[in-house]
Amino acid sequence: AKNVGILAMEIYFPPTCVQQEALEAHDGVSKGKYTIGLGQDCMAFCTDVEDVISMSLTAVASLLEKYQIDPKQIGRLEVGSETVIDKSKSIKTFLMQTFEESGNTDIEGVDSTNACYGGTAALFNCVNWVESCSWDGRYGLVVCTDSAVYAEGPARPTGGAAAIAMLIGPDAPIAFESKLRGSHMSHTYDFYKPNLASEYPVVDGKLSQTCYLMALDSCYKHFCEKYEKLEGRPFSISDAEYFVFHSPYNKLVQKSFARLYFNDFLRNSSFVDEIAREKLSPFSALSCDESYQSRDLEKAAQQVAKHVYDVKVQPTTLIPKEVGNMYTASLYAAFASLIHNKHTSLSGKRVALFSYGSGLTATLFSFQIREGRHPFSLSNLATVMNVSGKLKSRHELPPEKFVETLKLMEHRYGGKDYVTSKDTSLLTPGTYYLTEVDSMYRRFYAKK
């Protein structure tokens, strides 16, 4: 199989959201802390009728319908998620309902979990399957689904929720450059979920930022080495048209791109101009550890990289800024933003993507973008995802309602024997929703 990659995409996020500006006022923090400090505009959240299973049912049903894919044509289904609803039964098995109806139970794959990296692991599994000798000619399907919620405090505004479904196969408009992957994996306690009685993570915010940037450096180094071996010349930022990052909040994405720029400076890349060289030279002697702690370096690098960031990164930031951290779906929502903004001019371009999951696992990899044939053309992907339409039709709820919902969900987490409000007034037709969890913890869903 040639040019294996993403043929089609669909994104779903809850229609219920809270404005970050309103949340600043509600939380009593200084004005601008979430909007400028974190770089976030709005945050989606699930009400009591939605969860990671309902969102993924919605995304999968919509993808199959809008691209007219017969459920029998799916041969592998992989889910990435870090939102634990059941310690044994995979989310994938819930999604099997859709396929059983059409008589297709011959579908490999289960869930992958490691913080925000599970979706990338699922994607690699599907791509590797299509490229392998166990491939049976059918499509792979990858689903990233998460609801990011935090305990009260500084991490709470970095929540979000979404599900993304991606159809995998050969001759894709979004083709993997499978030889170009740089990974970095190590043992850290930056963000983890050891308390099985709570949906909230234990998080060391500062450490998680440093771990993220260290992983980025390391992945970039490996990626550059592989590129140089393959192409016979060094890689620099100029060799990819766009850079897409896992986006816990936009400020970290700004810092990350600046960090890549600083790497190119240290590697003596001709891409870094004279003025930038001068501004960054005071930091060239810092040890690696010192460089993560230097606020001056962070500011200087962001400043000199700004004009390149505006061109190579800004078009990828729309959905993550509007929806928040979607954990496993976050990177692919950033990529969906790029398709939304640039689908008419992406063909022939390379896009680099950085996936990060705390704990930690990270990979930098790349796509070659091609025009694609209907229904798998870039313009059709943009039409189906309808990002503007979905963002515009959302309902902004007051912070009090957001907090109240989280309280209710804390109470219900891991619980049984309840029916939900079944209030679907804010959901668009076709959306799946949770109706009941019975005395045996069995979950029931319906479609609006």
R_g over Cα of the chain: 21
What's the angle, vertex CA 303, arms to CA 301 and CA 308, rounded to 5?
90
Shortest Å, Cβ 129 to ligand ACO: 27
Q: Which of 76, 184, 251, 340 binds ligand ACO (CB under 6 A)?
A: 251
Told to judge if 116 belongs to the known catalytic residues of this protein, a careful annotator would answer yes
Q: Which of 1, 36, 84, 384 binds ligand ACO (CB under 6 A)?
A: 36
What's the angle, vertex CA 234, arms to CA 228 and CA 236, rounded to 5?
125
- Does 26 bind ligand ACO (CB under 6 A)? Our answer is no
- Give yes or no for a cis peptide into 353 (omega within 30° of 0): no
Told to judge if 82 belongs to the known catalytic residues of this protein, a careful annotator would answer yes
Q: How far apart, in whole angstroms, are the C-alpha atoms of residue 218 and residue 335?
A: 22
Other C-beta atoms closer than 10 Å to the C-beta of 394 total 17
Task: Put residue 324 in one of left, alpha, beta given phi > 0 → left and psi -120 to 50 → alpha.
Answer: left
Q: How far apart, in whole angstroms, are the C-alpha atoms of residue 333 and residue 328?
A: 9
Shortest Å, Cβ 205 to ligand ACO: 3
- Does 214 bind ligand ACO (CB under 6 A)? Our answer is no
Told to judge if 246 belongs to the known catalytic residues of this protein, a careful annotator would answer yes
> Which residues are 239's β-sheet partners?
none
Closer CB to ligand ACO, residue 115 or residue 382? 115
* Catalytic one of 17, 46, 116, 224: 116
Tokens of residue 150, six digits: 């935090």
- Does 205 bind ligand ACO (CB under 6 A)? Our answer is yes
Q: Which of 6, 64, 85, 116 binds ligand ACO (CB under 6 A)?
A: 116
**Is 2 labelled as part of a ligand binding site?**
no
- Does 37 bind ligand ACO (CB under 6 A)? Our answer is yes
Q: Which of 95, 107, 203, 244 binds ligand ACO (CB under 6 A)?
A: 203
- Does 208 bind ligand ACO (CB under 6 A)? Our answer is yes
Closer CB to ligand ACO, residue 32 or residue 415? 32
Interface stretch with ligand ACO, choices 74-82, 205-213, 268-276, 361-369 (CB under 6 A): 205-213
SS3 call for 138: coil
First-to-last CA distance in the chain?
39
- Does 270 bind ligand ACO (CB under 6 A)? Our answer is no
Shortest Å, Cβ 154 to ligand ACO: 3
Number of residues that bind ligand ACO (CB under 6 A): 22
**Is 321 labelled as part of a ligand binding site?**
no
Q: How far apart, in whole angstroms, are the C-alpha atoms of residue 171 and residue 180?
A: 18
- Cβ pair 283, 294 in contact under 8 A: yes
Tokens of residue 302, six digits: 């962001």
**Is 251 labelled as part of a ligand binding site?**
yes
Binding residues for CoA: 208, 251, 255
Catalytic residue annotation:
82, 116, 246
- Binding-site residues: 208, 251, 255
